[in-house]
């Protein structure tokens, strides 16, 4: 089956593809907030309907949380599984958005046209690049060039609690020759990238309790322990003066950067000044003596993702709070053991709590770092196909993010996984005013069409 008419079809159909994406984006499928449960369900229904209309055998599959969508289509080539997620991040702080995050529109910007709205880049826009590539193949050739399984999750932004059990329960159905995952970005603005290493993620929520109720700071201040002070001491103690994380044993399993990888990454000529300048910063803040790309891709981190205590509204309230809270996450690399680090973190915090206070912990996910093997022929095929579509040759890169699905495909289904995506650093995913470049969407669809063709030709 020839490629060119498929690419032509993609170009001609782009306006309709954008309208379809906007329909999906309008559904506020925020998975972490129980208030949006019905919307997550609706997003899954939308995908099932779209895939059935294209000829897939698609269904919504229940889990204890939000449903999975699984779709199959017959084909002669290799069996390819594609993964994406239809859930999105919360939108707060809402007042920083320049438009309704769930009323997406194409906007002209100095850097070109973008689609603005929550989930445009992470991950609905990326997910739809693959769906639209399939649509074009079917429209032109009446069928797909490969046997296909699509697998869409609705809990990626909330720790994927149902993912592993679902994969275990449906291992036979989900196993293919190779997995394709579209939830990552380009390197820079125009270099297509295949991710070969990912950081793991450990999430912890801590609640420190001092007095059993909020107190008047005039009546009790000076005598009663303030849990916000205790929390501040805990957070301040998590890094030393050199930016290293102080949790005992934290660096067990963190590999030094190999000379080979250091050289490959130096070749990428990472523009640290532009990367930080885009977000109003200029000074790398991580561990002293590390390369910037190394800090993001191959060093572990500890970040406060949220903290709160006492009165946070307008004006002033002289309360001595009963509780202080923090959401803290660790990005992990190499063979760092998430569960061992969780235990060491909890012990370290517990040891810092004064006798009169108490602390409780809640777990929010724990996944190890991932390292891809690139020996499967699909890696070289995809690299060539991407290089044909984009102005720069495709590169093997690392990622600071955490996409444990790649590791699960290997561990549970014994499949290699290729992480290829078309997001950009300035997409503001997880932030207000998220966007996806129209060129990312368009060339992303074309990229998948080329990759499917390349894998089929040589299969």
Single residue of 98, 110, 236, 259 touching a copy of itself by CB under 8 A: 236
CA distances from 65 to 31, 162, 174, 201 (A): 9, 7, 19, 20
**Residue 268 binding a copy of itself, by CB under 8 A:** no
CB of 223 to a copy of itself, least distance (A): 5
Supply 388's token pair.
């044909």
Minimum CB distance to a copy of itself smaller for 1 or for 164: 164
Interacting residues with a copy of itself between 170 and 229 (CB under 8 A): 199, 201, 203, 205, 210-226, 228-229
Phi, psi of 290 (to 5 degrees): -115, 150
* Neighbour tally for 387: CB within 10 Å: 16
Q: What is the DSSP string of 89-124?
A: ----SGGG-SS-TTS-EEEEETTEEEEESTTTTTTH
Minimum CB distance to a copy of itself smaller for 258 or for 305: 305
**Residue 360 binding a copy of itself, by CB under 8 A:** no
The CA distance from 238 to 329, in Å, is 11
Smallest CA-to-CA distance from 390 within 444, 449, 328 is with 444
CA distances from 340 to 208, 211, 349 (A): 22, 31, 14
**Residue 431 binding a copy of itself, by CB under 8 A:** yes
Single residue of 292, 377, 388, 412 touching a copy of itself by CB under 8 A: 292
Segment interacting with a copy of itself, rule: CB under 8 A, options 45-53, 70-78, 134-142, 291-299: 291-299
CB of 418 to a copy of itself, least distance (A): 19
CB of 228 to a copy of itself, least distance (A): 4
- Spell 191-201 as b/e; 16+ CB within 10 A means b: bbbbbbbbbbb
**Residue 429 binding a copy of itself, by CB under 8 A:** yes
Segment interacting with a copy of itself, rule: CB under 8 A, options 15-23, 293-301, 339-347, 369-377: 293-301
Segment interacting with a copy of itself, rule: CB under 8 A, options 37-45, 69-77, 297-305, 378-386: 297-305
Segment interacting with a copy of itself, rule: CB under 8 A, options 12-20, 54-62, 305-313, 378-386: 305-313
**Residue 419 binding a copy of itself, by CB under 8 A:** no
> Contact letters (x/-) for a copy of itself, 49-68, by CB under 8 A?
--------------------
Minimum CB distance to a copy of itself smaller for 75 or for 400: 400
Interacting residues with a copy of itself between 365 and 404 (CB under 8 A): 365, 399-402
Minimum CB distance to a copy of itself smaller for 136 or for 202: 202
The CA distance from 159 to 151, in Å, is 17
Minimum CB distance to a copy of itself smaller for 33 or for 337: 33
**Residue 289 binding a copy of itself, by CB under 8 A:** no
Single residue of 1, 14, 20, 33 touching a copy of itself by CB under 8 A: 33
Q: What is the DSSP string of 25-68?
A: HTS--BTTSGGGHHHHHHHHHHHHHHHHHHT-EEEEE--SSSPE
Query: Binders of a copy of itself: how many residues, by CB under 8 A?
Result: 103
Single residue of 288, 303, 347, 391 touching a copy of itself by CB under 8 A: 303
- Spell 216-234 as b/e; 16+ CB within 10 A means b: ebeebeeebbbbbebbeeb
Q: Which residues contact 442 (CB under 8 A, 6 or more apart)?
A: 10, 11, 14
CA distances from 383 to 145, 378, 422 (A): 18, 8, 14
CB of 278 to a copy of itself, least distance (A): 9
Helix (H) or strand (E) holding 274: helix 272-277
């Amino acid at each position: 089956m020839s490629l060119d008419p498929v690419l032509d079809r993609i170009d001609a159909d782009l306006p309709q593809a954008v309208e379809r994406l906007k329909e999906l984006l309008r559904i506020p499928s925020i998975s972490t907030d129980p208030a949006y449960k019905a919307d997550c369900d609706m997003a899954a229904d939308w995908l099932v309907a779209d895939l059935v209309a294209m000829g897939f055998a698609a269904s919504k599959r229940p889990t204890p949380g939000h449903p999975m969508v699984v779709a199959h289509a017959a084909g002669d080539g290799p069996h390819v599984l594609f993964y994406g997620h239809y859930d999105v991040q919360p939108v707060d702080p809402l007042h920083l958005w320049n438009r309704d995050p769930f009323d997406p529109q194409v906007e002209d910007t100095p850097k070109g046209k973008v689609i603005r709205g929550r989930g445009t880049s992470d991950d609905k826009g990326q997910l739809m690049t693959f769906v639209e590539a399939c649509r074009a193949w079917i429209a032109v050739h009446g069928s797909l060039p490969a046997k296909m399984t699509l697998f869409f999750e609705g809990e990626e932004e909330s720790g994927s609690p149902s993912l592993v059990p679902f994969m275990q329960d449906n291992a036979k159905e989900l196993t293919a020759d190779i997995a394709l995952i579209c939830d990552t970005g380009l390197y820079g603005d125009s270099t297509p990238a295949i991710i070969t290493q990912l950081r793991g993620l450990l999430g912890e929520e801590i609640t420190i309790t001092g007095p059993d109720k909020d107190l008047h700071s005039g009546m009790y201040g000076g005598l009663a322990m303030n849990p916000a002070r205790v929390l501040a001491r805990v957070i301040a103690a998590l890094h030393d003066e050199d930016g290293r994380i102080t949790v005992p044993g934290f660096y067990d399993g963190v590999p030094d950067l190999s000379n080979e990888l250091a050289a490959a990454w130096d070749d990428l000529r990472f523009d640290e000044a532009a990367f930080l300048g885009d977000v109003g910063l200029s000074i790398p803040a991580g561990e002293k003596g590390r390369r910037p790309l190394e800090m993001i891709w191959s060093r572990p981190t500890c970040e406060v993702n949220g903290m709160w205590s006492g009165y946070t509204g307008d004006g002033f309230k002289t309360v001595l709070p009963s509780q202080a809270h923090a959401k803290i996450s660790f990005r992990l690399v190499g063979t760092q053991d998430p569960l061992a680090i969780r235990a060491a973190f909890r012990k370290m915090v517990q040891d810092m709590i004064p006798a009169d206070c108490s602390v409780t912990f809640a777990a929010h996910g724990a996944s190890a770092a991932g390292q891809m093997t690139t020996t499967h022929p699909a890696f070289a095929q995809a690299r060539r196909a991407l290089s044909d579509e984009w102005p720069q040759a495709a590169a093997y890169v690392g990622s600071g993010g955490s996409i444990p699905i790649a590791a699960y495909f290997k561990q549970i289904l014994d499949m290699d996984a290729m992480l290829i995506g078309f997001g950009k650093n300035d997409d503001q995913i997880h932030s207000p005013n998220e966007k996806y470049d129209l060129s990312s969407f368009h060339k992303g669809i074309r990229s998948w069409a080329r990759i499917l063709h390349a894998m089929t030709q040589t299969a």
